[in-house]
Amino acid sequence: MEDEEDNNLLWAFSCENGCMGILMVTCMVLTWILIHRWNQRNKNGPKTWPLVGAAIEQFINYDRMHDWLVNYLSESKTVVIPMPFTTYTYTADPANVEHVLKTNFANYPKGEVYHSYMEVLLGDGIFNADGEIWRKQRKTASFEFASKNLRDFSTVVFREYSQKLHAILSQASFQGQEVDMQELLMRMTLDSICKVGFGVEIGTLAPNLPDNQFARAFDTANIIVTFRFIDPLWKIKRFLNVGSEALLDKSIKTLDDFTYSVIRRRKSEIKEGRESSENDKMKHDILSRFIELGEDPENNLTDKSLRDVLNFVIAGRDTTATTLSWAIYMIMSNSQVAEKLYSELKALEEDRAREEKVSLLQYDTEDPESFNQRARQFARLLSYDSLGRLHYLHAVITETLRLYPAVPQDPKGILEDDVLPDGTKLKAGGMVTYVPYSMGRMEYNWGSDATSFKPERWLKDGFFQNASPFKFTAFQAGPRICLGKDSAYLQMKMTMALLCRFYKFALVPGHVVEYRMMTILSMANGLKVTISRRS
């Protein structure tokens, strides 16, 4: 009996101690949280909590993350955001950007974290590689992008697909149909970059707009790898092959099947061409050039390396299409810009006709045949050199990129502890991200009219004037500055010249334009418009 009473007393004592222990731990945790929050009270940036950092607020604001960062970066040029497994430092300060992208470039690679997130899609291609692998690819790609053959080939391809897009818009305008311009532009740039990059026709811009597994898989993969940046469970899902990671795996297989089949076909065509001495049929697409370079043992280009040419598809397809979409949206939202652009294009048309000594065809906007004939004539007058005269068009596209950069954030790894020019301390193993979307909206970068769409800010006496690449960061800067910049402008100017010369666009009533969270700043709901023809 006494033993039972002793046990009961011991149990009661243990419970009491246990409750006291739980109460003490609870008090300690609450005190820790309160002290932590008190220490954070005057700091710039989102609310942070023990263990989870700012993950809660970032997750809540995920769908509007770019504007979420604008709010904080408008108050402080640099914001430090602790996360569960790392620390993100975001900056909109050009001096800091120059430090990261140029001055101390070697300390800020893509990094292992970014590489692990994107490897399944980008592999070890130029956008996802560091060190010697990156330098070797960069050197080869720099030479190829400077090639006049590639430039001339690209000009022909871009003109061809711009005319295909015009044909679809012409039909829609005569039939009074609404169109999704972003979808059409995605199809156009995918078709054209596959022609320039791989030398193949995939036909997504056909009049019946056929479904394309490659394009759908590409978009799905892009969305999922972007979400990895805030999904702490993605590695577990990948290991178990469930949920979004299972869908990603399926999408990557579709991409790889297409890419490897193109590589095999192109290698076979190159071999057959040599055996039959058909050197006049040499291909000028990027893949063919890399295959030929890969025959040198020193280059060591495997099929896996060639597969990573997919990087060029991402660069050439998504970024160009989204920029064109935002540019059309900006033009239809600013009628005075649309009219100034139209006047510039009309003037170029007349000047080029005089130079070529051709008579401009008379046309009737109510007659499909004469309308389309005049558009085809105008397209033939558009060359690399003539597009270079369109300073206002160049300014319109650049102003679009300032406010709606195709790559809204660009994270870098941190190899060693460092201090940014503004005094922000960076710890090795974290990430630092410069934010083009925010940079374009900051009054401390662009003045009181920073949020206004104003192409004139880029012109001086009618001629286009560049800004510092560390302030206008749409194409990066320093050693990693975008190799495809000139090619991107070429395609965008070719497309915009043809479309804005012959069409006016109006947003479908009630259509909501907002961005989707991806590595690329695409429109979440597309860009649904109605079209009217210009005289």
User: Which structural domain, as residue segments, surrounds residue 424?
Assistant: 41-107+406-451
Least confident of 59-68, 293-302, 508-517: 293-302
Same-domain status, 195 and 69: no
- Contact (CB, 8 A) for 504 and 197: no
Confidence of residue 465 (pLDDT cuts 50, 70, 90): very high
Q: Count the neighbouring beta carbons within 10 Å of the beta carbon of residue 516.
A: 17
**Distance between first and last Cα of the chain:** 107
Q: Is residue 204 included in any domain, yes or no?
A: yes
Which of 116-125, 154-163, 226-235: highest mean pLDDT? 154-163
User: Which pLDDT does position 331 carry in this prediction?
Assistant: 97
Confidence of residue 289 (pLDDT cuts 50, 70, 90): confident
- Phi-psi map region of 308: left, alpha, beta (phi>0 left; psi -120 to 50 alpha): alpha
Same-domain status, 365 and 432: no
Same-domain status, 317 and 212: yes
Would you mind telling me the total number of residues written for the chain in this entry? Answer: 535
**Helices (H), ranges, 102-227:** 111-122, 131-145, 148-175, 181-197, 213-227
Domain boundary among 451, 482, 515: 451
Residue 356's domain is classified under what CATH number? 1.10.630.10
Q: Is residue 468 included in any domain, yes or no?
A: no
Which string of b and e fits 305-338 if b means at least 16 CB within 10 Å? bbbbbbbbbbbbbbbbbbbbbbbbbbbbebeebb
15 is in an annotated binding site: no
Query: Above 70 in pLDDT, residue 84?
Result: no
Q: pTM of the full predicted structure?
A: 0.85
446 vs 39, more confident: 446
Q: What percent of the chain has pLDDT over 90?
A: 57
Query: What is the gyration radius of the CA atoms in the chain, in angstroms?
Result: 27
- Give the three-state DSSP class for 506: strand
Q: Is the dihedral of CA 527, 532, 533, 535 positive or negative?
A: negative
Domain boundary among 417, 451, 485: 451
Same-domain status, 422 and 401: no
User: Which pLDDT does position 168 carry in this prediction?
Assistant: 97
Q: Is residue 244 included in any domain, yes or no?
A: yes
Same-domain status, 288 and 195: yes
Average pLDDT over residues 147-151: 87
Average pLDDT over residues 142-169: 91
Query: Above 80 in pLDDT, residue 243?
Result: yes
Same-domain status, 97 and 222: no
Residue 86's domain is classified under what CATH number? 3.30.43.20
Query: Above 70 in pLDDT, residue 90?
Result: yes
81 vs 408, more confident: 408
Query: Above 50 in pLDDT, residue 527?
Result: yes
CA distances to 7, 18, 19, 26 from 15, in Å: 12, 5, 6, 16
Structure tokens at 304: 């896996």
User: Which pLDDT does position 35 carry in this prediction?
Assistant: 42
Domain count across the chain = 2
User: Which pLDDT does position 127 carry in this prediction?
Assistant: 75
Task: Please give the distance of CA 505 from its chain centroid, rounded to a whole number.
Answer: 24
Query: Above 60 in pLDDT, residue 186?
Result: yes
Average pLDDT over residues 84-109: 92
Q: Is residue 22 included in any domain, yes or no?
A: no
Domain boundary among 451, 466, 485: 451
Q: Is residue 467 included in any domain, yes or no?
A: no
Same-domain status, 526 and 412: no
Same-domain status, 214 and 324: yes
User: Which pLDDT does position 53 carry in this prediction?
Assistant: 64
Strands (E), 164-310: 179-180
- Contact (CB, 8 A) for 522 and 318: yes
Confidence of residue 60 (pLDDT cuts 50, 70, 90): confident
Confidence of residue 290 (pLDDT cuts 50, 70, 90): confident
User: Which pLDDT does position 122 carry in this prediction?
Assistant: 83
6 vs 488, more confident: 488
**Mean pLDDT for all residues in the chain:** 86
Same-domain status, 245 and 139: yes
Q: Is residue 11 included in any domain, yes or no?
A: no
User: Which pLDDT does position 517 carry in this prediction?
Assistant: 84
User: Which pLDDT does position 40 carry in this prediction?
Assistant: 45
> In the 8-state DSSP scheme, what is residue 75?
T
151 vs 313, more confident: 151
Average pLDDT over residues 120-145: 79
Reported as a single tens digit per residue, the pLDDT across 8-52 is 444 443 444 444 455 555 545 444 444 444 444 435 677 775 655
Instruction: Count the alpha carbons within 13 Å of 432 in the hemisphere toward its beta carbon.
Output: 28
Same-domain status, 83 and 226: no
Same-domain status, 269 and 371: yes
Reported as a single tens digit per residue, the pLDDT across 264-287 is 888 888 888 777 765 555 677 888
262 vs 405, more confident: 405
Average pLDDT over residues 343-358: 96
Average pLDDT over residues 480-486: 91
- Phi-psi map region of 80: left, alpha, beta (phi>0 left; psi -120 to 50 alpha): beta
Q: Is residue 1 included in any domain, yes or no?
A: no
Least confident of 80-94, 120-134, 430-444: 120-134
Least confident of 93-107, 304-318, 386-400, 412-426: 304-318
Q: Is residue 342 included in any domain, yes or no?
A: yes
Same-domain status, 526 and 386: yes
Least confident of 297-306, 332-341, 343-352, 469-478: 297-306
Strands of the sheet containing 503-507, edge to edge, are: 179-180, 528-533, 503-507
User: Which pLDDT does position 390 carry in this prediction?
Assistant: 98
